Structure formats: C-alpha cells, structure tokens
Structure 1
Amino acid sequence: MNIKMNTRTEKDLLGYKEIPAHCYYGVQTLRAMENFNLSQNKLSQFPVFIKALAMVKSACAHANFKLNNLDENKNNAIQYACQQILNNQYHDQFPIDMIQGGAGTSTNMNINEVLANIGLEYLEHLKGEYQYLHPNNDVNMSQSTNDVYPTAIKVGLISAIDQLNTPFKNLIQSFKNKSDEFAHILKMGRTQLQDAVPMTLGQEFGAFATTLQNDLNKLNQIMPDALSVVNLGGTAIGTGINTEVQYREYAIASLSEMTQRNMSSAPDLIEATSDMGDFVLLSSLLKRTAIKLSKISNDLRLLSSGPRAGLNEIHLEPRQPGSSIMPGKVNPVIPEAMNLVCFQVIANDLAITLAAEAGQLQLNAMEPLIAFKLFESIDLLGKAMQMFQHKCIENIRANAEHCQALVENSIGIITALNPYLGYETTTRIAKQANESGQSVLALIKAENLLSEQILADVLAVNNMVQPKQCA
C-alpha cells in the first residue's frame, strides 16, 4: 500500500498499475477503463446484468466447493461478496464501458476483482492481497469469460424481461380502458389515408391493445425458456477444459436455485458458445414491438392532427408549448418521443444482427455490443411505455361530435348501402356526392332510392361496425 498516494499496486500480464485504495476493482478493470471510453454507458447502469454476473459466480463457487476444489473459507467469502452485489451494494465498482473489445473479458474480470476484494475484507485481509483470495484462481475457478459472460447475459435478460412486463401490461390495459370508454363513438375508418367504412373509436383503441398483447404473449412464451438454456461449464470453447465431470451439473443446479428458474445446459456446448441465435430472436421480438408502438404513435398523431385543419378526432393532453414563434401551437411530443425510442430499438436490432453475424469459428467476440443493445432496448421500451401510458394514453379525449359529423359527411358510408342499391348505383351516388359536395344520404333521399326505415336500419351503429345478426 502506497500510503502517501493512497493507492495500492497490482500487476497483471502487462505489468504494474496503481489502483485507488478505496476501489474494489483491480488492475484489469483499470486497463479496460483506460482502453474503452466509448459510449458513456457503463456496466454500473445495468444492475440486472451485474446481479446476473454475481449469481453465476456464486453458482460456480458452490460447484467448486461441492467438488472440494474450493475451501470453505474461500467459498464463504465469495458467497458473501455475491450476496452483497445482489443486495445492490458495490454497483459503483463496475465503471467499464459496455462497448469493449475482448469478448467480455473486461466484464468478467471486473466482477472477479470486485468479488475478490469484497471477499478479502470479509476474510479480514486488505484489498489486493490476492494470495488469500485470487480473482482468477479462486473466483474464476473452472470458468472462462466465454461461458460466464453469455450465461450472465441470459440470466440478466430474463430479469429484464420480467421487469418489462409491468409497463407493458399497464400500457395494454390503458388502451383497453380507452376502448371501453370510446365504444359508443362512431367514426370513419381509413385505408391508405382515404375514407373507408365506419367503425367505433373503441374498436380502433381495442386493436392497439390486441396487437401489443400479442407481442407480450410471444415475448413471455418464447424467451424465458430460450434464455434458460446456457453454456455454463463449457469454459473456453465448449469442451469444458479445466472442469470436472460433475461441475456443470452442480453449477447449473445452483444457478437454477438462485434464479428460481429451470436453467439447463445446452445439448452442444461448442455450438452454444459461438451461436448468438437466442439473442437475435429476442432482438427481433423487441423490434417487432417497437414497430407496432411507432405505428400506434403515428396513428395517434394523425387522429389528433390539426386541431382545426386536420382530422381532430381525438385530443391529446397538451404537455408543453410547441413553438418558439407560433403562439398557441401544441405538438404531440409524447407520441413523437415514443417514435424516437422505437427508431433506436430498431437500430439496435441492426447492430445486434451485424454483431451476431460477425462471429468467427468457436466464439463471437462482438457479444459485448449484443449485450449492451439488448439491455438498452428493454430499458428504453420500459421507460417509454410508462411515459406513453401516463402522459398520453390515459388522458386522451374523444371529439365525439366531430367524429359523427365526419361519418355523416363521408362517402364511405355508401359501402353499407351497396347490398341494397348495387355497385353501379352506389358508385354513381358516390361520384355525384364528391362532385356536388352534398352528402350521400341527401342524394339517396332526393332520389327516393331507399325508405327512411331501411336507411335507419342500415346506418345503425351496430350494423355498420360488425357483421349483421341473422334473423
């Protein structure tokens, strides 16, 4: 310990470095900090990932202890250190950039060093006195970055998906609530931005809920099981070098207990060490949701456009002034912000796709980018869904009278009369209405083509927005 400088000296393959005495990370973490200052997105910003790393390290230590390869004192120290991480302690000791070379080795060594130094203090030794508890020899025993890192990513993603469920479900419920609230409001449906046929505003919002529910179902049905299959025990390339026969079984059993998930070993560890397919699958599902949310945001912006020279069928709660030069202008800033988040998630999917394709032979060295972008996408979507629900959807109001007026003045209602008048007659009426500016109903009544009773029945809300009931 260099008391004057308040540092400690540590060494690695490349030589010696001075580490701030208060830091629980060590020399390899410090080198990563010096090498990779790229994204300003640090490992410390993703607590589910840090906790997942601690769970994996705890499970591995337990397996090594059970095989009598790690003594009781060292195991107790590692287990204590892991529990501290799981209790949200020491997360500031993970300062490395999420974008890093080395296929995740910097992240693995960061957790190894932090756990070793927490464990050393538990054993009443000083930080850096690795002869008593070593980051590589003890904390990383029977492990490689190449099985620890992807396993921890999967465990962390399962937790992240669990956390995403709450804002996802709440947003869906908010759309359902609006569907019920607007169930009686007739409006024009549109295809290709042109008037189509009537529907209710409730049906429109109900469709938003349904499409998002489909994505949430797929996310929960597919991904937890896919991510529960791990390559832990495969070590460097999947052959299991430096492990004993029962190690993998013990480690995965312990990890299952810690995560309360049915974790299982990949049937082919060499394939599982190099393949990024599960991460690509998750990214594609997140992209699918982002595409839908962006489309919904676009629809809300269109439906609220104007307010006087646009559709103006719904009213979005004003959130802030919309212009530095145009008095009274208010912009749909919340749907716009949702669009931006969705574009980022879609872009992240491309980055993940390219990184997954770029692996060579027995390892994918681009995995840090995959991890970063998956955790970022889930985090962004969760925050954006909360924003969307509370600052937009919950406070939407329908402009019911305006919706009704647009229906009554629309050419689109002629479709409902097609079975009674025939295509030729309805086409003529529609053309005449467009050219004269008169309503379809006024022209039909003027020519006495249908009785008032039939018109009333045909144009009843229930008959226009759903199949007719048989008599």
Structure 2
Amino acid sequence: MSRLENDLIGSLPVPDEAYYGIHTQRAINNFRISGITLSHYPEFIKALAYVKWAAATANCELGVLGKNICDAIIEACKRIISGKYDDQFPSDMLQGGAGTSTNMNINEVVANIALEIMGYKKGEYQYCSPYDHVNLSQSTNDAYPTGVKLGILFHNEILEDSLTKLVESLKNKGQELKHVITMGRTHLQDAIPMTLGQTFDAYAATLEKELHSLRQSANLCLEINMGATAVGTGLNAIPGYAALCAKNLTCLTKFNFTPAKNLVEATSNTGSFVAYSSALKKLATKLSKICNDLRILASGPRCGIYEINLPPMQAGSSIMPGKVNPVIAEVVSQTCFRVLANDFAVTMASEAGQLQLNVMEPVMTYTLLESQNLLNNAMTCLRENCIDGITANEEHCRDLVMNSIGIVTALNPYIGYENSTTIAKEALETGASVYDLVLKRNVLSKEELDKILNPENMTGVK
C-alpha cells in the first residue's frame, strides 16, 4: 500500500507505513551510492532532531509558529531522539544537493509523526508541513551543517571515552612491565637500555595528548549558522531567531553553541570540519605507529625480536602449521589508513566549495562520522584484544640488553668515548660481549661494572 505525494517534479508513491515523504523517496531512487544510510548513525539522527526541536521552540517563542504545532513537533523530535524511528532514515549518506535530502528526511519524518500526534494521517501536510512548519526560518544550508556539527560532538564524546580507556590500559601495562629491562632502538639499531614499562608509558602519553586535540578541534563545531538560511543573509528568518535558536540548542544539549558573527562566512566555511578531520588523522597516525611497534617487538618467535607476546587470536596460516599472526595490530593499522584517506576526502571537499555554499558537505559528513566510528571500534578492539593481554619475555629481553653493544653508551662517563669506541669496535669484530671486554681490559672492576650496568642506573627507573 502507498500514498501519493506531490512536489515540484511531479507525483510519486510513498509506502503507507513510511514516515518519510516524497523528497526522501526521490533520494532513495536517485542516490544508490554508498549503501550507507543515515540509519547507520543514530547519533547524527538524534542531532538533526535536536536542531528541529530548537528551531520550533524559537519560532514559537517569536510568535511565528502556533503552540499546538510546536508541541507536536517537539514530541515528534523526542520520539526520534529515543531511537524509535531510526529505520525511517533511508537516505544515502552520499548525496547531491548539499544535504537537502538529509534535511528533508528529518523534516518529513518529524512532520508525519507530528501529524499522527495531532490526530491526522501521514501526508496531510496542510496541518503540519515539512516545509512551512518543521523547516520554518531554516534552509538546508544552516540546519544541515548545524546537525552535522552536533552529530560530530555526540560522536566525539564516544570517541574520547574509548581513547581514555585505551590510555589507561597502556598506563596499566607500563606499570606492569616497569621492571623489564630492554634495549631502546633508533634507526632500527641498538641504542641504549630502557624498560618495556617506559615504552608503554610513552604510548599512553602520546595518545593522552590527542584527548586535548580532539576536544579543541571539536569545540570549533560550537559556532553555528542557524538563521543564515540560504546564503547567510537571514532571508525568511525572523529577527532574533539566530541567537534564540543557538540558545535553545544549548539548553537542549550540554554543548555551548554560539551564533556565528558573520553568517555569510559561516555558511560557506567548512574549516571546522577540516580541523576536526586533521585531529582524527593525527590520532590515527599515532595508533598505527604504535601497532607497527607492537608487531616489531612481537616478531619471531625464533627469528625476530620477540620481546613481547601479543595475545593469540586466531590461527595465522592456511599452509604454515603453528603460525600465529598479529592480526589485531594489523587490522587497527588498516583502519587507520582508511581514516587518513578520509581526511584527504574532507580536505578536497572543503577546497571544492564555491561562492556562498559548499555543496560537498555530505561527503565530509560521511567521512567524518565514518572515521569517528572506525577509530572508536579500532581502539576498543586494540585495548580488549591486544594491549590488555600483552606479556613480556623477560629473560630474553635481559639477554638482548646484556649482549648488546649499545650498553657501551652507559660506560662513556666512566671510561671515556675513546675507550668505549675501541671496546665497541672489538665487540663488533669478535662477537665478544662488551661486559667481558671491559673486564678483560681492566678498565673497570666487576663491582664497578655491575653497578653501572644495573638496570635502575641505566634506565632511571626505581
């Protein structure tokens, strides 16, 4: 069963049970691109509903929207925010029209839910219109990017929570392995001794910095252009609407939104999306670097470094018996590559905006939300399936240090650079250990040498 709806193009049947309308139906027909619909991102749908709620309240307070229609719109938004109608958002995330299909999808769903609340049938838009009531004082060009920004902020909270948990996991692992002496490496060559605990503490510290970076860039999304309407001149928006709408959105959420000072600039500017994407890129780069390190440190078991053991998650080969691969580190790095590619898409889309509007905002929205979702899942996977279960091959780590020429660096202050160089050269040529050569040359006593090469003295860890 279907109902017939009309628009500028003509008539089109819409399924009777659908809360969306003709504009959304055309989007379904026109944009079969990614297969990823708005329904994949419930937080984004929730954000769009909050925008419509704030707008309706502002319009009612300014006397341009009747209270009975406003109340119905608000109740409809509340129901959408609850998640009950997520399946009514079938528009593809990739779409032409600068987000008009997304804006109309939320307008139509809100309107049809409101109509039922008021006792009317779906499609009886003379009583509550997606255009004249739900979209009152708005344009896609201000409502859509505002919804996107709020969606990013909602998803950023989830992302920060996952990142915080990963940082804590790394700190715990650093504490657990603080006594395990190992060899630090630069240029993939032996450098000087350190502990595995220091390695994991450093991972925690570098990712903890990204919490600040994410918050700082996400805060750029707090400036919104509601009231700008089509190009930023505010045509069809009543005076005072922009400030009141931002105030209402702040009251409805815990985010402190402010109206843009220059609405023309804000309507065409997508710099906040570029900045936030850059923060995601930086986080992804660091995560992949850490995963690279973990794979190197776990390489072996007989012919690699093999200082740590990653949790065995699955058999590693269809041909090599007994092989276990670092699959979690591998999948996290691959996820990070996708985030890096998404950042490039955001950059190009931002650059491609012309004149008073950037019509490429849908691809920015799609890639930003996808990157947030991917990173959230990747960090949870890395923490639960890898970091928490890492163990150290402690004896092997110590043997590597004591057999390394790198420990000669610790002797520099005691025997001088020239003696250290001579001993290092002989160790390289003969295969003898630095420890044995120092004793052989009587440069230091065994007692002095053992004190200098004590792990606590070499690494600064007490």
1:184 aligns with 2:179: yes
Within the candidate set 7, 18, 22, 1:12 is matched to 7
Cα distance in 2 between the residues matched to 1:68 and 1:177: 57
User: Structure 1 residue 226 and structure 2 residue 220: aligned?
Assistant: yes
The reply on whether 1:37 has 2:11 as its aligned counterpart is: no
Deviations 1:91-118 (A, max 9, x none): 1000011000000000000000101100
Q: 1:349 maps to what in 2?
A: 343
Superposed displacement of residue 451, structure 1 = 1.3
Match of 2:73 among 67, 70, 78: 78
Secondary structure of 1:233's partner?
coil
Q: Percentage identity across aligned positions?
A: 53
Instruction: Check conservation: 2:217, 2:279, Cα contact below 8 A.
Output: no
Aligned-partner residue type, residue 117 of structure 2: Y
2: CA distance, partners of 1:208 / 1:169? 13
Which of residues 387, 392, 399 in structure 1 aligns to 2:386? Answer: 392
Residue 85 of structure 2 corresponds to 90
Matched letter for residue 17 of structure 1: L
**Aligned counterpart for 1:216 among listed residues 197, 211, 219:** 211
Q: CA RMSD in A?
A: 1.0
1:283-326 CA-partner distances (Å, limit 9, x unpaired): 00110000000000000000000011000000011000000000
Rounded to whole Å, the distance in 2 between the matches of 1:137 and 1:201 is: 64
Query: CA–CA distance in 1 between the matches of 2:391 and 2:5?
Result: 63
Please report the TM-score for the alignment, with normalisation by the length of structure 1.
0.97
The alpha-carbon deviation at position 218 of structure 1 amounts to 2.0
| Structure 2 CA distance for aligned equivalents of residues 125 and 288 of structure 1 | 51
Q: State whether structure 2 residue 99 is matched by structure 1 residue 104.
A: yes
Distance 2:187 2:196 in 1: 18
1:9 alignment partner, SS class: strand
Match of residue 245 from structure 1: 239
1:204 to 2:199 alignment: yes
Aligned to 2:155: 160
Corresponding residue of 1:48: 43
Quote the residue 2:396 is aligned against: 402
C-alpha separation between the residues in 2 aligned to 1:223 and 1:444?
54
2:413 pairs with 1:419: yes
- Match of residue 327, structure 2, among 306, 310, 333: 333
Shift of 1:232: 0.7
Q: Which range is displaced more, 333-342 or 240-249?
A: 240-249
Q: CA deviation at 1:428?
A: 1.4
Does 2:353 match 1:359? yes
Aligned residue number for residue 3 of structure 1: none
Aligned to 1:238, the other structure's residue is in SS state coil
Q: Name the counterpart of 1:58.
A: 53
For the pair 1:432 / 2:426, whether they are aligned, the reply is: yes
Kindly state the Cα deviation for residue 467 of structure 1 after the two structures are TM-superposed: 9.7
| Unaligned ranges ≥5, structure 2 | none
The answer as to whether partners of 2:178 and 2:461 remain within 8 angstroms in 1 is no
Aligned length: 462
Q: CA deviation at 1:189?
A: 0.3
**2:142 aligned partner, one-letter code:** D
How far is the alpha carbon of 1:165 from its aligned partner? Answer: 1.7
Compute the displacement of 1:224 (Å): 4.0
418-427 vs 152-161, which moves further:
418-427
Contact 2:423-2:434 at 8 Å conserved across structures: yes
Map 1:258-407 onto structure 2 (within 5 A): 258-407=252-401
1:335-366, Cα deviation, whole Å (9 max, x unpaired) = 00000110000000000000000000000000
